[in-house]
Each structure stands twice: as structure tokens, then as C-alpha cells.
């Protein structure tokens, strides 16, 4: 059976994303993002499910540093709705609980329910790990915020469903692969993702991006990040509409290369249907 690696415990939202996007793959939990990517590089897994941004919390810290360092390509993208559940040991009533454990981000995203139930939040390393803690050592005064998958895996009861404050809470994942990219389907729309570093000359970024305008290529994302702690040396991550085989994309990337010290295509992959909602 093919395998897909992810960062987190069993029942993490990344695990849920693996199950929904790649149901015929065996999910492999890893302690870190580096370990999940390395599994693919060392051919211990076929794919890796890596979160890159959340509609509420923004970019996942440090991810852009890692995407270009493992000789992997983006195979696909996946959008996963984040629906937080309030979990407790089976048989626990909602009136008994006094504490709620979860990742700091999940706690921040469920403030309305936490305040309404007058719960004392306790920050843990991750959501699924909090559920695991409740199942192993928690009391009836303890609860956790995690996914419905975590409830199933750790035998917990869902006291309240979908307690997140914002109902549009969604995480975008990139599926990374070491092997060949998907074959082009003329019926599908594509994204191309790149990392580049501009030359240290006046107007370099302006001129580099000008090629997208002159070739009619739409940029859907442009983010900068600092490299090696040098504030004078920024790299940029971009997502653009189109396939590298499109003449317009070819022209835009050729113009971009004139003004860059580094240009790395991270992947060419179909747009997820979520973008059409």
C-alpha cells in the first residue's frame, strides 16, 4: 500500500487531510515537518501532506524554508475545513469539565465556547496530542479541542460539535512528491509555484514581476521571507495561474530569470475544486 507522511499525532488535522485527499494511502505520522518531508526523500513514503496557510491564522511559520530544500515537487493541493470538536472521556457530562487542552491556535479559534463554558485553557503541543492525553491520563474535569477523527481514534465523546468561532476556517495543504508530476489534463486549470531571489540591484523586484504583467499571467500569491538571517537578502514565494508549458508562463518565467539570482519551480499541479466555491 502506498504511504503518505504528515506532521503530528494520529488524529491530527493533517491526518484528516490525508484521509480525505488520499484515501487509498496509508498515513504515516511524523514528529516534525522535516521528518515528514525526509520520509519522501528517503522513499519511506510516496507523498507528504504539508500545511502552508490557514484562512484565519495565515502562513504556517517556516514552511517556505523547507519546501525547496528536499528535492521534492508539489504534486497537488488540498483544502481542509477545520472543524473543532470539544472532546472528553465517554460518560463525562458537559457540566463536569473545568479544563480544556489543545494547541494554542485551536484555543484561540474557540474562545466563544471556552468562555461560555467557563473553561480554563491549557496549551498543549497539538490538538490530537491533547485528545491522546485525555484518553490516557485525563479525568472527567478535562476536555480537549481536536478533530472528530481524534475522537474516533482515542475513544472520546464529542460534547459539542464545530465550536470554532469562524466557520470559514480552512487550511491549505501542499502534497509533496519525489516522483513524476501528474500528467497534464487539458480539462483542468493549473497552478505553478516558484521560489526566487532577486538580484541586489535597483528596481529588480519591479522588473522581475513586470514579466507577469506583459505576458498576461495572474499571480495569486506573493510572499517574501528572510534567508539566513540576512535582512538584505529576501526570497519570494509565488503561485501563478497557468502551466509551465503555456507560452505566457514560459515568457513570464524567462523574464523573471533575468533579474534573479535563484529561480526554482516547486511544482505544477491542478487547482483544487475548493477554489471554485
Which CATH topology does 85-160 take?
D-Maltodextrin-Binding Protein; domain 2 (3.40.190)
User: Where in the chain are all domains bearing CATH 3.30.70.260?
Assistant: 190-270
Look at residue 270 in the predicted model and tell me its pLDDT: 96
User: Of residues 33, 127, 173, 212, which has the active-site annotation?
Assistant: 173
User: Of residues 92, 127, 171, 192, which has the active-site annotation?
Assistant: 171
Which CATH topology does 3-81+169-177 take?
D-Maltodextrin-Binding Protein; domain 2 (3.40.190)
Look at residue 6 in the predicted model and tell me its pLDDT: 97
Look at residue 156 in the predicted model and tell me its pLDDT: 97
Look at residue 183 in the predicted model and tell me its pLDDT: 82
For a pLDDT cut of 90, what percent of the chain falls above it? 78
User: Where in the chain are all domains bearing CATH 3.40.190.10?
Assistant: 3-81+169-177, 85-160
Nearest CA to 49 out of 83, 23, 14 is that of 14
Phi/psi zone of residue 243: left (φ > 0), alpha (ψ -120 to 50 degrees), beta?
Answer: beta
Look at residue 137 in the predicted model and tell me its pLDDT: 92
Look at residue 190 in the predicted model and tell me its pLDDT: 96
173 is catalytic: yes
Question: pLDDT tens across 211-244, in order?
Answer: 999 999 999 999 988 777 666 677 899 999 999 9
Strands 170-177 and 47-54: antiparallel
Following CA atoms 19, 22, 25, 27 in sequence, which dihedral angle do they give, to the nearest 10 degrees? -40
171 is catalytic: yes
Look at residue 229 in the predicted model and tell me its pLDDT: 67
Which residues share a beta bridge with 53?
A: 59, 172
Look at residue 199 in the predicted model and tell me its pLDDT: 84
What is the second-level CATH architecture of the domain 190-270? 2-Layer Sandwich (3.30)
Residue 10: how many other CB atoms lie within 10 Å: 17
Low-confidence ranges of the chain (pLDDT < 70): 229-232
Amino acid at each position: 500500500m502506498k504511504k503518505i507522511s504528515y506532521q503530528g499525532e494520529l488524529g491530527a488535522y493533517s491526518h484528516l487531510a490525508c484521509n480525505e485527499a488520499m484515501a487509498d494511502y496509508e498515513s504515516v505520522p511524523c514528529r516534525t515537518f522535516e521528518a515528514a518531508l525526509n520520509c519522501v526523500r528517503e522513499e519511506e513514503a510516496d507523498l507528504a501532506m504539508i500545511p502552508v496557510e490557514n484562512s484565519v491564522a495565515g502562513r504556517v511559520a517556516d514552511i517556505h524554508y523547507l519546501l525547496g530544500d528536499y528535492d521534492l515537487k508539489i504534486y497537488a493541493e488540498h483544502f481542509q475545513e477545520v472543524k473543532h470538536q470539544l472532546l472528553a472521556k465517554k460518560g463525562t457530562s458537559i457540566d463536569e469539565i473545568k479544563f480544556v487542552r489543545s494547541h494554542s491556535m485551536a484555543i484561540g479559534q474557540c474562545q466563544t465556547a471556552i468562555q461560555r463554558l467557563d473553561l480554563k485553557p491549557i496549551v498543549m503541543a497539538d490538538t490530537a496530542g491533547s485528545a491522546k492525553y485525555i484518553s490516557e491520563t485525563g479525568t472527567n474535569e478535562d476536555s480537549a479541542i481536536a478533530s472528530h477523527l481524534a475522537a474516533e481514534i482515542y475513544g472520546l465523546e464529542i460534547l459539542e460539535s464545530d465550536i470554532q468561532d469562524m466557520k470559514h476556517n480552512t487550511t491549505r495543504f501542499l502534497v509533496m512528491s519525489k516522483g513524476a508530476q501528474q500528467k497534464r489534463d487539458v480539462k483542468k486549470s493549473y497552478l505553478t509555484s516558484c521560489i526566487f531571489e532577486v538580484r541586489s540591484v535597483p528596481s529588480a523586484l519591479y522588473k522581475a514581476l513586470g514579466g507577469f504583467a506583459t505576458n498576461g499571467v495572474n499571480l495569486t500569491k506573493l510572499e517574501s521571507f528572510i534567508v539566513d538571517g540576512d535582512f538584505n537578502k529576501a526570497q519570494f514565494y509565488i503561485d501563478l495561474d497557468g502551466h509551465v508549458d503555456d507560452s505566457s508562463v514560459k515568457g513570464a518565467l524567462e523574464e523573471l530569470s533575468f533579474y534573479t539570482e535563484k529561480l526554482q519551480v516547486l511544482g505544477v499541479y491542478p487547482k483544487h475544486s475548493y477554489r471554485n466555491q
